[in-house]
């Protein structure tokens, strides 16, 4: 048999031979055989059929997720006294979580947060191992902690994993560096463990000695060429120990050969590379062994599952393929066998969930026995059988896989079988074939391994020479006549009929067995079906079957007596019946339907399979009323119309819901009147178009200026007009203020009107007063008096009631409103008051303030010098002509806008003066 053993992440597989299963090599059919093993364990699973290990593509199901789980990279799986438990550690919080499944590991577990047991969050819980110590009968759990701790934490559960454990920290150990995988098992009488250190490129071996409760010593074993060892699998073959180790980055795996000593500190290391480049941040790995075939399964961080096939030698170069992808990573997967299935728990690694992987279902015949290394089995057929034993499937470093092959021979002590009775007309073969037989001697004188006997039978014996299981046997063979059973042909019957089934003749030795369960010679039948009878006489049997069809009596229903309007005739009478039915109507037709064109009594008779039924109906024809509510009409919404008609002995119903002969309507619609005369309903429709009154708009009320004309327009299509002025045109022209009203009548006599009021609005008036004077050094305000004015515009382009001036000249103001303009002019004479310089000038060529110069009474000035400087102190202009000034140019280009400084030197009446100041150049 090709049997398997699976342990993901850290796995020990011992490739022992058949001597680990103790049982005979050859056994007889129907003789019990006991299978035992000398290997110690706490869980045993036996399989007695072949298992195809070549394509175990697992399916994934979420077992538990979310709080209190928090980034769980490793998980355990154990069976304890019929109950199943898992333990996992929260990487971020250092909390330990127990999953309790009850008696079925496929149940949804109860999650218990057991706390941190005093470990700080920075410890980063990693690999977990839960072990049963057979010497003490107690359970122990181990967690390896990285981060700032680099320790082992031991949990002591006592005799049950359901207990609350006590915790013992062990360490710290200097050799640990971000440890991941942890595995512990007993080698001989001593406990040994391993941890993979991702940060220092080494394995740490823990030596506990003979007691699992001892504080271990730690030894580091460098994994040459493997910079980030993360997970590993341990196996033994031909007395030598081998370990496969994944290298997380850059992504390959190594094989370590420890030889015969698992404590070898210098194993031979072989870099196995990255076959077919299938390894991408490789993490968890496992080994499956089917006695003569070895497989390793490895999972990447992205959830890709790869298969390595080594043949029957674990040191060979494997054939590598990618199997599937789960979409989640895992550092540790725990296998277990339950209910003939090989499953495994997978911790999500980067997430917060536990998943269950179903790898395969064992063939029929698998037996799971816990805490018992022995099992008994009886083989009922000869052949070669493969037996596989799985031991300690829940442990990481403790599972085993053993195989044995036995031969089951066909001989047995009562090899001819018991005395038997044979039916007359048949033959019976007596077979004495035995494994290892050298000769046969029958009571008939035959010397062949088998003989054939016929009626009348008798007693036969045989002697076998050299057989393994049987040497001689006797058998009595009797022949009896076979009864004859004939129930006749298939039968059709009607509901209510009773059909009796049975056979004639027979004897008191007959036994009867009907398909209904009855045991009488005959049975009554009232329902359709196949009925069979088996008659047995001393073991000889004959049977027959007959089909009974109980057909329903036709259901014929033409409906209740009814009446129809003449306009609805002809009316068709129908009856839906199963195929094969025969129809007979009162008019002699045999069709499925009949047309009725006048009042009368009508009947139908239907028959099928000889079952007949019929029905009768009375039909009365009623004349239809005549209704007309007039032609389609156009109306005005202002004047509702009355529509309808009167007919004797009828009821009325309009589509508006009204029930009177006439209704008033004022909206556009189709109006329908339905008239009912004794159930005969006739309708008529009239289309009413309701025209709206004309919408007349002469505009908003407004103003009218003197001598202004305004056109008022009340035009509307196909209409007549009446103005309050007496005019009848669509529009009129007005020149004076007042209220104007028009009434418009359309061709459908719909009227509309509107009124507009126009108010008189005068022209503006403005005045500046008499002419005046202005001093050059003193500004003068000019104010305008205005009436009926919307705005005032001055000759310098400014708006407002007032302007300020410095120079003499002519100034004009214009008053404006919507009816026109008015203007006035004032002349201002400029007189000398003194001299001064402006604080700004605008050399833009508009003739106003284009030059910066001395202003005022210049006649008395002597020895004048005027200079201008920019902000950097550069002189940009100078003159000794008191009537000249600066035009805003410097070096033949426009000077920049900004602030400038002037220096004025002059003599007045023989006295020198100096005047300084600043001004602005604007454009």
**How many beta carbons lie within 10 A of that of residue 640, not counting itself?**
15
Q: Global pTM?
A: 0.48
Listed residue (305, 322, 333) closest to 399, CA to CA = 333
* C-alpha to C-alpha distance for 901 and 886, rounded to whole angstroms: 12
Decide: helix, strand or coil at residue 277.
helix
594 in Cβ contact with 569 (< 8 Å): no
Q: Does the bond joining 456 to the residue before it have cis omega, within 30 degrees of 0?
A: yes
Look at the alpha carbons of 789, 794, 797, 803 in this order and tell me if their dihedral is positive or negative. negative
Give the Cα separation of 56 and 318 in Å (integer). 17
| Long-range contacts formed by 441-450: CB under 8 A, 24+ apart | 441/465
Query: Which residue from 373, 377, 374, 394 is spatially nearest to 385, judged by alpha carbons?
Result: 377
Q: Tokens 């009867």: give the residue.
A: 512
Residue 22 DSSP class: B
**Per-residue pLDDT at 831:** 54
| pLDDT value for 257 | 96
Q: Strand 751-760 relative to strand 738-746: parallel, antiparallel, unpaired?
A: antiparallel
pLDDT of residue 617: 92
Tokens representing residue 276 in the block: 């077919």
Cis peptide before 570 (omega within 30 of 0): yes
Inter-residue contact 815 to 789 (CB < 8 Å): yes
Q: What are phi and psi of 749, to 5 degrees?
A: 65, 30
- Structure tokens of 737? 């203020």
* H helix or E strand, kind and range, residue 96: strand 96-102
| Beta carbons of 540 and 480 less than 8 angstroms apart | yes
Cα 460 to Cα 417, 444, 454, 470, 480, distances in angstroms: 12, 7, 12, 16, 18
Q: How far apart are CA 848 and CA 312, in angstroms?
A: 114
Among residues 698, 689, 704, 739, the alpha carbon closest in space to that of 721 is found at 698
Residue 284: count of CB within 10 angstroms of its CB: 32
Distance CA 603, CA 591 (A): 13
> Helix or strand or coil: residue 912?
strand
Spatial distance between the Cα atoms of 876 and 896, rounded to a whole number of angstroms: 11
828 neighbors 770 (Cβ within 8 angstroms): no
DSSP of 685-714, one letter per residue?
EEEEEEEPPP-------EEE-TT--EEEE-
Residue found by looking up tokens 């009596």 in the block:
553
CA distances from 174 to 182, 191, 200 (A): 16, 21, 11
813: phi > 0 → left, psi -120 to 50 → alpha, else beta; which? beta
Q: Are 88 and 128 in contact (CB under 8 A)?
A: yes
Grouping H, G, I as helix, E, B as strand and the rest as coil, residue 122 is helix
Rounded to an integer, what distance in angstroms lies between the CA atom of residue 125 and that of residue 143?
7
Q: Is 198 exposed, middle or buried (0-12, 13-18, 19+ CB in 10 A)?
A: buried
Which run of H or of E encompasses 386? strand 383-391
The span from the CA of 327 to the CA of 305, in Å, is: 10
Cβ contacts of 579-582, under 8 Å, gap ≥ 24: 580/608, 580/609, 581/554, 581/606, 581/607, 581/608, 582/606, 582/607, 582/608
For the chain, residues with pLDDT lower than 70 are 1-19, 40-43, 49-57, 290-292, 349-350, 360-371, 392-400, 410-414, 468, 470, 775-778, 830-833
């Amino acid at each position: 048999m090709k049997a398997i053993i699976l342990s993901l992440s850290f796995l020990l597989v011992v490739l022992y031979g058949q001597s680990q299963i103790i049982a005979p090599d050859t056994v007889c059919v129907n003789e019990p055989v006991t299978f035992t093993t000398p290997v110690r364990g706490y869980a045993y699973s036996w399989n007695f059929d072949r298992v195809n290990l070549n394509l175990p593509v697992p399916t994934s199901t979420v077992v538990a997720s979310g709080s209190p789980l928090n980034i769980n990279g490793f998980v355990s799986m154990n069976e304890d006294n019929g109950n199943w438990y898992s333990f996992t550690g929260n990487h971020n919080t250092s909390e330990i979580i127990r999953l309790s499944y009850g008696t079925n590991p496929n149940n949804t577990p109860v999650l218990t947060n057991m706390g941190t047991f005093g470990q700080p969050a920075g410890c980063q819980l990693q690999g977990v191992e839960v072990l049963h110590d057979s010497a003490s009968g107690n359970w122990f759990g181990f967690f390896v902690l990285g981060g700032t701790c680099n320790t082992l934490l031991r949990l002591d559960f006592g005799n049950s994993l359901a207990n609350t454990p006590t915790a013992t920290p062990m360490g710290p150990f200097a050799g640990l560096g971000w440890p991941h995988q942890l595995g512990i098992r007993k080698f001989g009488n001593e406990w040994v463990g391993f941890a993979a250190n991702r940060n220092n490129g080494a394995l740490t071996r823990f030596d506990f000695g003979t007691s699992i409760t001892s504080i271990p010593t730690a030894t580091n074993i460098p994994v040459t060429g493997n910079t980030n060892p993360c997970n590993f699998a341990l196996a033994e073959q031909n007395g030598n120990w081998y370990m496969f180790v994944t290298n997380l980055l850059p992504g390959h795996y190594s094989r370590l050969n420890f030889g015969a000593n698992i404590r070898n500190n210098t194993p031979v290391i072989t870099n196995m590379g990255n076959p077919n480049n299938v390894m991408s941040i490789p993490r968890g790995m496992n080994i499956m062994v089917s006695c003569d075939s070895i497989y390793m399964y490895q999972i990447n961080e992205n959830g890709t599952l790869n298969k390595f096939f080594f043949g029957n030698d674990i040191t060979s170069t494997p054939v590598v393929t990618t199997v599937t992808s789960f979409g989640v990573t895992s550092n540790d997967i725990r296998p277990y066998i339950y209910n003939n299935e090989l499953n495994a728990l997978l911790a999500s690694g980067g997430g917060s969930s536990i998943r269950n992987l179903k790898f395969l279902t064992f063939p029929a015949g698998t037996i799971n026995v816990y805490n018992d290394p022995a099992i008994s089995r009886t083989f009922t057929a000869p052949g070669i059988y493969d037996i596989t034993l799985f031991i300690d499937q829940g442990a990481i470093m403790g599972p085993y896989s053993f195989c044995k092959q036995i031969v089951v021979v066909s001989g047995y002590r009562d090899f001819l079988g018991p005395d038997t009775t044979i039916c007359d007309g048949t033959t019976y073969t007596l077979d004495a074939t035995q494994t290892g037989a050298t000769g046969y001697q029958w009571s008939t004188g035959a010397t062949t391994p088998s003989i054939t006997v016929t009626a009348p039978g008798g007693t036969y014996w045989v002697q076998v020479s050299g057989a393994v299981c049987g040497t001689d046997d006797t058998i009595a063979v009797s022949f009896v006549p076979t009864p004859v059973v004939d129930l006749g042909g298939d039968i059709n019957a009607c509901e209510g009929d009773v059909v009796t089934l049975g056979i004639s003749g027979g004897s008191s030795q007959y036994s009867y067995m009907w398909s209904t369960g009855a045991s009488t010679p005959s049975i009554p039948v009232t329902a359709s079906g196949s009925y069979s009878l088996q008659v047995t006489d001393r073991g000889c049997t004959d049977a027959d079957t007959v089909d009974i069809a109980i057909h329903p009596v036709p259901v014929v229903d033409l409906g209740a007596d009814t009446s129809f309007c003449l306009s609805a005739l002809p009316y068709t009478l129908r009856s839906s019946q199963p195929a094969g039915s025969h129809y007979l109507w009162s008019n002699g037709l045999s069709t499925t339907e009949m047309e009725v064109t006048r009042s009368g009594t009508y009947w139908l008779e239907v028959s099928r399979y000889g079952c007949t039924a019929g029905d009768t109906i009375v039909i009365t024809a009623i004349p239809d009323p005549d209704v007309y509510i007039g032609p389609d009409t156009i109306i005005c919404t202002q004047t509702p119309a009355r529509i309808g008609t009167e007919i004797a002995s009828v009821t009325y119903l309009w589509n508006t819901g009204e029930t009177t002969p006439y209704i008033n309507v004022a909206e556009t619609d189709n109006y329908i009147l339905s008239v009912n005369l004794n159930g005969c309903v006739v309708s008529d429709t009239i289309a009413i178009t309701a025209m709206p009154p004309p919408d007349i708009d002469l505009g908003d009320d407004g103003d009218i200026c003197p001598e202004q004309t305004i056109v008022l327009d009340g035009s509307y299509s196909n209409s007549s007009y009446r103005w309050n002025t007496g005019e009848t045109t669509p529009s009129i022209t007005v020149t004076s203020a007042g209220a104007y009203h028009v009434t418009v009548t359309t061709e459908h006599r719909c009227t509309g009107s509107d009124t507009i009021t126009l108010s008189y609005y005068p022209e503006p008036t403005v005045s500046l007063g008499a002419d005046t004077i202005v001093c050059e050094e003193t500004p003068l305000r000019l104010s305008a008096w205005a009436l009926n004015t919307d705005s005032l515009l001055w000759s310098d382009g400014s708006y407002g009631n007032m302007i300020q001036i410095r120079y003499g000249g002519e100034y004009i103001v214009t008053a404006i409103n919507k009816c026109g303009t008015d203007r006035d002019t004032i002349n201002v004479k400029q007189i000398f008051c003194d001299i001064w310089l402006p604080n700004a000038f605008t050399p833009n060529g508009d003739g106003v303030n284009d030059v910066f110069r001395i202003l005022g009474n210049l006649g008395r000035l002597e020895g004048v010098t005027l200079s201008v400087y920019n902000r950097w102190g550069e002189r940009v202009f100078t003159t000794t002509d008191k009537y000249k000034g600066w035009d805003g140019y410097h070096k033949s280009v426009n000077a920049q806008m900004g602030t400038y400084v002037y220096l004025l030197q002059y003599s007045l009446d023989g006295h020198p003066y100096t005047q300084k100041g600043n001004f602005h150049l604007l454009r």
